Amino acid sequence: MYTDKVMDHFSNPRNVGQIENPNVVVKVGDPGCGDAILIFLKIDSGVIVDIKYKVYGCGAAIATTSMASTMVKGRTLEEALEITDESVAAALGGLPETKQHCSNLAATAIRAAVTRYMHPPEEKVAGQADPH
């Protein structure tokens, strides 16, 4: 059974869409259930000023991603890194045990996006040998 808050975020998801010229884009998926999230972040002076996402998944995946996006919008990068599976589920008033993995996907995607922004992968220069 889903809480009223889960049903609200499923029926009226917040921050859905795509950001033009985002600072970072990350895709995270769960091969076990087939859910996937594409997260877009706009960051200014260490603060997430906008977050959008596209989610392919069940109602719980939509609701948890919606809730997670509201939890980090306007927060610092450090605060966003503190989001956990448990905090997303708790903010929704709980999730059925069989749907707990859905909150994992939202929190994981946000942490991955923030981490990528803070520590971008090194770009190879054309013709440069790989030192590894």
Q: What is the pLDDT of residues 19-52, one digit of tens each?
A: 999 999 999 987 777 889 999 999 999 999 999 9
Q: What is the mean pLDDT of residues 59-88?
A: 95
| Whole-Å CA distances, 121 to 10, 113, 118 | 34, 12, 10
Backbone angles phi, psi at 61, to 5 degrees: -65, -40
Catalytic residues: 33, 102
Domains in the chain: ranges and CATH: 4-118 (3.90.1010.10)
Q: What is the pLDDT of residue 95?
A: 87
Q: What is the mean pLDDT of residues 6-23?
A: 96
Q: Indicate whether 84 pLDDT > 90.
A: yes
Q: What is the pLDDT of residue 9?
A: 96
Q: Which residue type sits at 41? A: L
Q: Which residue type sits at 55? A: V
Q: Say how many residues make up the chain.
A: 132
Q: What is the pLDDT of residues 88-125, one digit of tens each?
A: 999 999 988 887 766 678 999 999 999 999 998 876 55
Half-sphere exposure of residue 62: CA atoms within 13 angstroms, side-chain side = 17
Beta strands in 6-130 (DSSP E): 24-29, 36-44, 47-56
Query: pTM of the predicted model, to two decimals?
Result: 0.86
- pLDDT band per the 50, 70, 90 thresholds, residue 58: confident
Q: Cα–Cα–Cα angle for 81, 84, 88, nearest 5°?
A: 120
Residue 89 CA to its chain's centroid (Å): 14
Q: How far separated are the first and last CA of the chain, in Å rounded?
A: 51
Q: How far apart are CA 104 and CA 47, in angstroms?
A: 22
Greater pLDDT, 32 or 53? 53
Q: What is the pLDDT of residue 132?
A: 46
Q: What is the pLDDT of residue 99?
A: 77
